[in-house]
Structure 1
Amino acid sequence: MLNAIETINTAVNNFIWGVPAMVCIIGVGLYLSIRTGFLQIRKFPYAIRTTIGRMFRKKDASDGAITPFQAVCTALAATVGTGNIAGVAGALAIGGPGAVFWMWVSALLGMCTKFSEVTLAVQFRETNADGELVGGPMYYIKNGLPKCWHWLAYLFAAFGVLTVFGTGNATQVNTITTAINSALTNYGLLKPDQISTSNLIIGIVITIMIAMILLGGIKRIGQVTEKLVPFMALLYIVLALGVILLNLHVVPSVFASIIEGAFHPSAITGGVVGSLFLSMKKGVSRGIFSNEAGLGTGSIAHACADTRKPVKQGMFGIFEVFTDTILICTLTALVILCSQVSIPYGQAAGAELTIQGFTATYGNWVSIFTAVAMCCFAFSTILGWGLYGARCIEFLFSSKVTKPFMVVYSLVAILGATADLGLMWNIAETFNGLMAIPNLIALFLLSGTVVKLTKAYFAQENP
């Protein structure tokens, strides 16, 4: 039975994350970019000025809402996760250094896609029975498109609920337990026969922490993420920049290998990765999977922001993709390439390759800091996806089921800490990809609305 499920899931997964899906995601990103006159490039200085300027502005949000900064931190909490550490390493190993170039390309178009998602989410959001602002793909489909398209909203929400337990919770907790156990083992504080007990204890502690935060509502989620996300991002960026500065002499050759590897991968990988398509596929899919542009999930957090200007909040979408992929994913790639650790081209690789890059430069003592960074990344992802799942199940049923959902979602952390998650991860990844289909159709159909709102905003603001 399990073999049959795995076979079916593999076939669907290969299609969802294969050429058709990537063509659709890149195609919609390019279409939106053309229709907005490549807004993400033309208005990039304005986007950075607007977003960073609002981050440091102290302001209390109204009831049922969070500040724009808390909204972007909640969205970044879900996107800046273990994929930035493990996913980039995997893309390098399978696609070669050239995968980084294609990651940049997908991010450039993804900036406009996410801008559109956030703008539409704020424009078509609602206030629920508890007085909280709710929105996202299911709401801009329901309120922005004719009734004949409303089935897409329910499809998106259903896939969202099925995804969050695996992608957003169990696999992230598994990463936390691995990071903690690895660090404790390195320092001789944990023996192999104690790992199962350690996993259970970690799972219970994480369950309690998740429940305490999520059951506190959107405001508590925002308060936690606005502190956790900047801390974890700055810690990781400082450590990564240190690796690059200590290996500054190889940086020019590293960038040369990225550019050459994008078009001639075999020249860099010694023929192990000889396919241009494979390098492109890994870079594009990893970029999409990391920044979630096209999946629509990040817009659910932005819909909660206390703002009256959808386009202005949409600028955070540009900032998010830039921070997640252009900045953090690139730093991960540079840590691996600049440290000159041996990359197992053509083979699967994960977080251990990134950790090797840090330890090769700093020594084994840095493993405790990488463990802390990975735990923060994973825990923040759990919180972000917890909100997404709650909003999806609320849309399907009502706000009455939100708290029971959050209790169940919290308890899944124990499963994630103690069980083998191979098949669960693959199934969750498939549902994650399926979420993109109804969202991409909606973005294509609502592109005219995005153009109209953007023109009206900039005509009034005249920045």
Structure 2
Amino acid sequence: MNNFQSLLQTIDSFVWGPPLLILLVGTGAYFTFRLGLIQFRHLPTALKLVFSRSENSKAKGDVSSFAALCTALSATIGTGNIVGVATAIKLGGPGALFWMWLAALFGMATKYAECLLAVKYRKVDDKGQMVGGPMYYLQYGVGSKLLATLFAIFALGVACFGIGTFPQVNAILDASHLSFGVSREISAVVLTILVAIVTIGGIKSIAKVAGRVVPAMAVFYVVACLFVLIANADQLFAAIELVVVSAFTSTAATGGFLGAGMMLAIQSGIARGVFSNESGLGSAPMAAAAAKTDSCVRQGLISMTGTFFDTIIICTMTGLALILTGAWQSDFAGAAMTTHAFAVGLSSDTLGPMLVSIGLMFFAFTTILGWNYYGERCVVFLMGTKAVLPYKILFLILVASGAFLHLDMIWIIADIVNGLMAVPNLIGLIALRHIVVAETKAYFNSTSKDEHELVTQN
């Protein structure tokens, strides 16, 4: 058994090794420059679209563009924003945060491209709901049923046995037990009932909850981090300087930190950054496809802000809190390190940990909801709408059983499948790059023409 686990860890290291990370960042870099730095030039426009209600009421789709974004964010803003950042900095030092930023900036262009394609190639299922994502642009755009099926199988594996269930369930149960003294069994029952209530209603129910919970939890966590940053404001500039300098030099061993070379900072920062915002993995396009919109470019712009919110804002807040408080040099790791940072930053051994626990529980809960929907879309693609109810029952059983499973092997398999999702998706993005470029040019040319005509009329 140990040999098998060791083999899985070797495969996991290979899957998430330099080739995949280079391909992920390289794809983002290609779209960044080919689309004229779209994520920098048009970020203000994208943010304006996120909070604007000027959508075409007759446009096809199941939920608003904002609700589709919140559904995608519900899956990406999760334990990775708290635990993943701590893991990256523990392995690679403060410089890992810089590489997380870089991966996110390029990742915004990737997220734009994949969500644009999701709307471009989306279909309507036999229940009248929108279906889309890498499965559909791989089959109908690239023309490869094999790649489409592989993606759907990998993504379904992640939903049922990875990010969508066990790690999130255990994060919730541990946080509720440690901070509020609630037994794991009671928490598991309550959690399963809540997931059932929300997910049985499908995308509209999930999007409704996500549209309220995601913005609230994000603001709550950012404000909590801001208190830590303000309390240590005199060291903020030095912390940012440390992040930038450490990104290009080795970080010496200090305190509980064992030291790290530049390559380890790059690898841990990029890997955890991609793991957190999921740019290029192909998950967010499945939510984007449900948006009520008549423009694939418009939805692509809205969707790319998800990576901005997830990594540039929330992961940065966690990272700076860890560095400012010196928690990254402690003997703690993962969630315990972030909890320690809040305890030190807020000078409270009760308030700090409680804020992290509340953040973890909400982040993990919404991740379960988002991935439940992604799994459902994969089931519809593979087996049709008749398989949705059996899938939902299985998903609830897996959520309930998460309280009693502590199998490291399951999480290693999940990590492998999560990385494998990216491969067919990236092949699709590269194969359809000309479609992305053509749609983008057509949209902005028409927007410029409309603005010109408006000026002329006035």
The TM tier, using the shorter chain, reads over 0.9
2:74 aligned partner, one-letter code: A
The answer to whether the 8 A contact 2:239-2:320 is kept is yes
- RMSD over equivalenced CA pairs, Å: 1.9
Residue 44 of structure 1: aligned partner: 43
Residue 413 of structure 2: aligned partner: 427
The answer to whether the 8 A contact 1:64-1:218 is kept is no
Residue 80 of structure 1: aligned partner: 77
Residue 236 of structure 2: aligned partner: 251
CA-to-partner distance for each residue in 1:238-263, whole Å, 9 max, x for gaps? 00011101110010110111011001
Residue 455 of structure 2: aligned partner: none
TM-score after normalising by structure 2 = 0.93
1:39-188 superposed matches below 5 A: 39-54=38-53, 65-146=62-143, 149-165=144-160, 166-185=162-181
CA gap of 1:274–1:199, structure 2 versus 1, over 3 A, is closer
Residue 355 of structure 1: aligned partner: 339
Shift of residue 300 of structure 1?
A: 0.3
Write the distance in 2 (CA, Å) between the matches of 1:267 and 1:9.
31
Write the distance in 2 (CA, Å) between the matches of 1:371 and 1:421.
22
Asked if residue 303 in structure 1 is aligned to residue 289 in structure 2, the reply is yes
**Aligned-residue identity in percent:** 39
1:121 aligned partner, one-letter code: A
Shift of residue 210 of structure 1?
A: 1.1
Shift of residue 269 of structure 1?
A: 5.1
CA-to-partner distance for each residue in 1:155-200, whole Å, 9 max, x for gaps? 0001111111222111100000010111024xxxx6xxxxxxx212
Please state whether the residue corresponding to 1:236 is helix, strand or coil: helix
Write the distance in 2 (CA, Å) between the matches of 1:63 and 1:348.
49
CA-to-partner distance for each residue in 1:15-66, whole Å, 9 max, x for gaps? 1101111011111111122221221122222222222334xx6998988601
Write the distance in 2 (CA, Å) between the matches of 1:404 and 1:171.
22
Give the gaps of 5 or more residues in structure 1: 191-197
Correspondence for 1:409 among 395, 401, 404: 395
Residue 445 of structure 2: aligned partner: 459
Shift of residue 368 of structure 1?
A: 2.4
Residue 320 of structure 2: aligned partner: 334
Write the distance in 2 (CA, Å) between the matches of 1:126 and 1:118.
14
CA gap of 1:423–1:215, structure 2 versus 1, over 3 A, is same
The answer to whether the 8 A contact 2:62-2:292 is kept is yes
Write the distance in 1 (CA, Å) between the matches of 2:244 and 2:253.
10
The answer to whether the 8 A contact 2:56-2:294 is kept is no
TM-score after normalising by structure 1 = 0.92
CA gap of 1:269–1:441, structure 2 versus 1, over 3 A, is farther
After TM superposition, the structure 1 stretch with the greater mean CA deviation from structure 2, 34-43 or 249-258, is 34-43
CA-to-partner distance for each residue in 1:334-388, whole Å, 9 max, x for gaps? 11111233524xx882011111111112212322232111110000000000000
Write the distance in 2 (CA, Å) between the matches of 1:254 and 1:98.
10
1:145-294 superposed matches below 5 A: 145-146=142-143, 149-165=144-160, 166-185=162-181, 198-267=183-252, 272-294=258-280
Write the distance in 1 (CA, Å) between the matches of 2:356 and 2:27.
36
CA-to-partner distance for each residue in 1:425-454, whole Å, 9 max, x for gaps? 111011000000000000000000000000
Write the distance in 1 (CA, Å) between the matches of 2:170 and 2:19.
31
Write the distance in 1 (CA, Å) between the matches of 2:328 and 2:77.
26
The answer to whether the 8 A contact 1:94-1:348 is kept is no
Write the distance in 2 (CA, Å) between the matches of 1:12 and 1:48.
39
